[in-house]
Structure 1
Amino acid sequence: MAETTERKRTQVDDIDRSMYDFRYDDADAEKLEAGLTSEIVREISERKDEPEWMLEHRLKSLEIFNSIDMSDWGPSIDGLDMDHIVTYVKPNTDQKSDWESVPDNIKDTFDRLGIPEAERSYLAGVGAQYDSELVYHSMQESAAKMGIVYSGIEEALHGEYADLIREKFMTLIPPTDHKFAALHGAVWSGGSFVYVPKGVKLDYPLQSYFRLNAKGAGQFEHTLIIVEDDADLHFIEGCSAPKYNVANLHAGAVELFVGKRAHLRYSTIEN
């Protein structure tokens, strides 16, 4: 008779959330009204000085959002009411390339999360987003000399790769996929654009980190990565937010295009 061994019941220890559950007052942040309307969508686009095609994409996505039912997969989200979600929150700063120029409250947030230390130790580039906008972005000169492009996607919309972004944007995750894809297409803000040329191999990772600080808000960053033939990249994304007693929403999107014989390692870490 075979022996049977009683298995002890195990459980995951409670996670220490002390490094995440802190927040700063957001009274000096610029917020749009809560809710989801065409006026709000137009204002987001206008604030970002977007090309006309992107505004059209946003408005079409809003139309799709309003025309399709909520997805029935996943956990219940009956408590989510978009009329009470602020879709755009701009922190009290513009994007910086020098860490010491970032406002103290935002700098302290990312210091406590270990982002500057990681950049110094083993990263080839870092982007940090606070609520709806990038507040810091930097890449090592050696990576730039290899022809690698790593920037905020909004910045890239106005540069050399604007046509490429238009060709690829939300083609892997079209707004018709489901209601939250449509929501993202309407109100996306911030995120990363990465382009690795053919045959280029980066030895150290790039990392973007997204921090949702504002209570009752949403974060909708868009990441678009293109790795050409025979190239190699490791990209890390992190996301965290304090715990609130009201609904917050994170509905980002990631699109990854990998060429022939290329290698992309994509890692995501969320609290």
Structure 2
Amino acid sequence: MSSKQDDLKETNTEARFEFKKEEKSAFKSEKGLTEETVRVISEDKDEPEWMLERRLRALEQFQEMPMPTDWPGQPDLSEVDVDEIVPYIRPDVDVRAGVDDWTELPDDIKDTFDKLGIPEAEKNALSGVGAQYESEVVYQNMQERWEEKGVIFCNMDEAVQEHEELVREHFMTKCVPPSDNKFAALHGAIWSGGSFVYIPENTTVDMPVQAYFRMNSEGMGQFEHTLIIAEEGAEVHYIEGCSAPKYSKFNLHCGGVEVFVDEDAHVQYSTVQNWSKNTYNLNTKRAIAENGGRMEWISGSMGSKATMLYPSTILKGRGASD
């Protein structure tokens, strides 16, 4: 490929991913991580008491844990200062009412996802789409034929309210507890948004579902949580996409992913990330596979100032694989 073609390719990539929008928010927390901040986030989401208690326990664990220094291939994290991060920004969208039509989004947010090609992908190749902007999911939709079969695809904040028993049983209890590492504890304290996917027994979702996470504001952190439960014999392909524009200050992406693969179930989790060069990408992703369960991780992580990502599967049952 010629130098001119390389330059054109780089320009097209920047145009697609690194555009910026003026920050418009309905609510924005203060910088840093304190008990007050955790309580404010939980109150703004109108969460049940048990979730607030889990957040506060995770905060305690985060404060007690040292910054990791000996992880395999660990990059320099000396610049990562949580006290300089805004952990929660609720965009100027009525997320509680639920938006399942792209045209109902504010023009600046709609334009963002149009540029990223998400609505077009939904029409052509996906069973369902969720789109997160800053700290909240602003769009969520799934084809009716899957809802009729009992498939659930919603944002995590809705799942806490509408599917409380399932979330309470699985959320950061067995797969990725806050005690796992300092960044898991940070995530547990201030998580916001993300996807909840539930596939009933012997149900195959034959087209992927996708969630896209976009950070727009400078100096913020994004802490979405993804929880996937595939019952016995179920199959699903989940695609995660992420991007952010470039700023002079560092941004922090600290997501958490928990996948439960029941007997003879099959989950494929694909990640395509194109973070800007000022973003620290520090995630914890893990699955638990029961007898005959199969878990596949496919990751394409591009960009970022530093990425620490170790997808793993606990092969709990006989014949489980990844």
TM-score (norm 2): 0.78
Cα separation, 1, equivalents of 2:25 and 2:235: 41
SS in 2 for 1:127: strand
CA separation of 1:252/1:233 partners in 2, compared to 1, >3 Å: closer, same or farther?
A: same
What is the match of residue 70 of structure 1? 67
SS in 2 for 1:213: coil
Cα separation, 1, equivalents of 2:158 and 2:24: 27
CA separation of 1:37/1:234 partners in 2, compared to 1, >3 Å: closer, same or farther?
A: same
Cα separation, 2, equivalents of 1:151 and 1:28: 22
Matched, 1:114 2:117: yes
Cα separation, 2, equivalents of 1:84 and 1:29: 21
CA separation of 1:214/1:29 partners in 2, compared to 1, >3 Å: closer, same or farther?
A: farther
What is the match of residue 91 of structure 2? 91
Instruction: Report the Cα offset of residue 154 of structure 1.
Output: 1.0
Match of 1:224 among 227, 231, 234: 227
Cα separation, 1, equivalents of 2:204 and 2:35: 43
Instruction: Report the Cα offset of residue 204 of structure 1.
Output: 0.5
Instruction: Report the Cα offset of residue 108 of structure 1.
Output: 0.5
Instruction: Report the Cα offset of residue 18 of structure 1.
Output: 2.3
Matched, 1:34 2:37: no
Cα separation, 1, equivalents of 2:261 and 2:94: 32
What is the match of residue 214 of structure 1? 217
With a CA cutoff of 8 Å and minimum separation of 6, indicate the structure with the bigger relative contact order: 1
Which structure 2 residues correspond to residues 1-271 of structure 1 after superposition, within 5 A? 15=10, 16-72=13-69, 73=71, 74-95=74-95, 96-159=99-162, 161-170=163-172, 171-271=174-274
SS in 1 for 2:131: strand
Cα separation, 2, equivalents of 1:18 and 1:122: 23
Instruction: Report the Cα offset of residue 25 of structure 1.
Output: 0.7
Match for 1:84: what amino acid?
E
Cα separation, 2, equivalents of 1:107 and 1:165: 30
Cα separation, 2, equivalents of 1:156 and 1:250: 22
Match for 1:21: what amino acid?
E
CA separation of 1:24/1:62 partners in 2, compared to 1, >3 Å: closer, same or farther?
A: same
Cα separation, 2, equivalents of 1:81 and 1:264: 35
Larger radius of gyration: 1
Instruction: Report the Cα offset of residue 28 of structure 1.
Output: 4.1
CA separation of 1:100/1:65 partners in 2, compared to 1, >3 Å: closer, same or farther?
A: same
Cα separation, 2, equivalents of 1:249 and 1:195: 28
Match for 2:68: what amino acid?
S
Q: Which runs of 5+ in 1 are unaligned?
A: 1-12
Q: In 1, are the aligned partners of 2:24 and 2:91 still within 8 Å (CA)?
A: no
Stretch deviating more after TM superposition (192-201 or 16-25) = 16-25
Instruction: Report the Cα offset of residue 81 of structure 1.
Output: 1.3
Q: In 1, are the aligned partners of 2:122 and 2:128 still within 8 Å (CA)?
A: yes
Match for 2:221: what amino acid?
G
Instruction: Report the Cα offset of residue 30 of structure 1.
Output: 2.2
Instruction: Report the Cα offset of residue 82 of structure 1.
Output: 1.2
Cα separation, 1, equivalents of 2:135 and 2:21: 15
Instruction: Report the Cα offset of residue 237 of structure 1.
Output: 0.6
Q: Which runs of 5+ in 2 are unaligned?
A: 1-5, 275-322
* Per-residue deviation, residues 111-160 of structure 1 (Å, max 9, x unmatched): 0001000000010100000000011011001111111001011111111x
Match for 2:165: what amino acid?
D
- Runs of 4 or more above 2 Å deviation: 13-18, 27-30
TM-score (norm 1): 0.93
CA separation of 1:198/1:31 partners in 2, compared to 1, >3 Å: closer, same or farther?
A: same
* Per-residue deviation, residues 188-239 of structure 1 (Å, max 9, x unmatched): 0001101000000111010000001110000000000000111110110101
Looking at secondary structure, tell me which structure has more strand per residue.
2
SS in 2 for 1:24: coil
Match for 1:261: what amino acid?
D
